Amino acid sequence: MISRLPVRLLVTSAALAAGLALAGCNTDDISLANNAKANQPVPPKLVQAMTEKNMELQSPILVRIFKQEAELEVWKQDRDGRFALLKTYPICRWSGDLGPKMREGDRQAPEGFYSITPAQMNPQSSFYLSFNTGYPNAFDQALGRTGSQLMVHGDCSSRGCYAMTDEQMAEIYSLGRESFFGGQRAFQLQAYPFKMTPINMAKHRNNPSMPFWKMIKQGYDHFEVTRQEPKVDFCEKKYVFDATRAPNATRDPVFNASAKCPAYAIPEDVADAVREKQQHDQAETNKLVSRGTPVARMNTGIDGGMNKVFAAKLPDGHTGLSEGGDGQGLSLLALSRAPGTIPSHVNPPKPKLTPQEEPVVAVSAPATRVAAATPAEKPAQQSDGWFSNLARKVGLGGAETTASAPPPAKPKAESRPAPSIVRATAAAPKHVEPKPAAAKPAPAPALKPSVSDAPVSAAAAPAPAAKDATIAGAAPALPANSFESRFGAMK
């Protein structure tokens, strides 16, 4: 093994030195000489997983990416010749929207089928390690789509790329490197907007990209039913999968993305299996639509997404267009271990705020007006005394009864059992009548997992304070700590 190391380094250098300098996401020249990052071994746990799944270390790989799920899957060929899932990596950051990349500068991460050769591997990337997706492919070019240097790389920062943590990228890079050592000339990258399931197709049925998605779903289905890398060709500005020589043809078909499709055939067993799967999927999709499955929102104004595992670690973390962005789901992951180091410059996707949600800081402004308005309603103090006396009679009186003074503004409230009002005083800051608008910004604190647990105790503490403190109870919604103080230990 030791004697083979120099040979492997030499082979890798020869294979990768053919790459050109990469701009955009990567700006350094490709050179593998003495590059420790690019020569990190596959982690022992991953090697053990290969052994358990009947895989060779240097067998071919295949990569699938899903934007909505914010996941990157690495599949590896087993000893039976079929691909099996080796590991799923949460994506730290991707940019743009669901849908294919159209033009240079649109910040879109590409979707479609791409081929990754050794020359596209960049061991000297400005973003730790990377490989070029190969966008635009022949299909993209036939449609006049533009863009360059779209990568899968580390550093958790994206401008049209798929960004992982450095630790994740080291593993993915090593798996690609080993497959090249094993003789794979190129591995396939399949990039999708989401997992092509009936529920997702139903939710996105009105999206303008649906015709394109149905087309690449053909390749998704070919892989699902065969567990073999689908052969990809292009003609008439569309994808063609697993095309073979037509019956009675004397030579293999020649494809041109912009030209008319040649005569070709698809193996009958594959075609039948794909057809059966698509009929089943379409039937399920139709059922979901008929049951009123809601249509996914479009044009949200959110730039890309982030896996919830990473969003849970950020003070202002939000998954954007990816799944699992609710506050409760993120808070449950806040204490879990992130798969890699999150850099301090990470820029999570930002939710598009509505006019009611924007003035979060302004919550304290109307508080003073509301507190000042209570003296103008002096007659209510008569009922205050009645409630206070009743509270004392049932043994619930005390300082908390002062916080219950604002709610009984309507005479009908007097018909309600007074003790229940007094018992609610501990949560009174959340039920102050003059603040109905506070229900609108409520989701904002839930998006901050760093303080998701703090408001519970903080809300109880200021409750017995003065009357104005009931309005100031909204203050814990503001972040009380900085990014550096929370993540300094992780660097």
Q: Which active-site residues does the annotation give?
A: 153, 161
Count of alpha carbons within 13 Å of 206, Cβ hemisphere only? 9
Residues 431, 409: contact at Cβ < 8 Å? no
Distance CA 163, CA 174 (A): 16
Adjacent-strand bridge partners of 311: none
Count of alpha carbons within 13 Å of 209, Cβ hemisphere only? 21
Residues 391, 422: contact at Cβ < 8 Å? yes
Ramachandran angles phi, psi of 232, nearest 5°? -115, 130
Distance CA 478, CA 472 (A): 11
Binning the chain into helix, strand and coil, the percentages to the nearest 5 are 40, 10, 50
Edge-to-edge strands, sheet with 130-132: 93-94, 162-163, 151-153, 130-132, 121-122
Distance CA 413, CA 20 (A): 76
Coil vs helix vs strand at 430: helix
Please give the DSSP secondary-structure letter assigned to residue 335. T
Residue 189 tokens, joined: 């990258």
Angle subtended at Cα 257 by Cα 252 and Cα 258, rounded to the nearest 5 degrees: 120
Please give the DSSP secondary-structure letter assigned to residue 320. B
Residues 73, 85: contact at Cβ < 8 Å? yes
Please give the DSSP secondary-structure letter assigned to residue 113. E
Which residue's entry shows tokens 């087309």?
215
Total residue length of the chain: 491
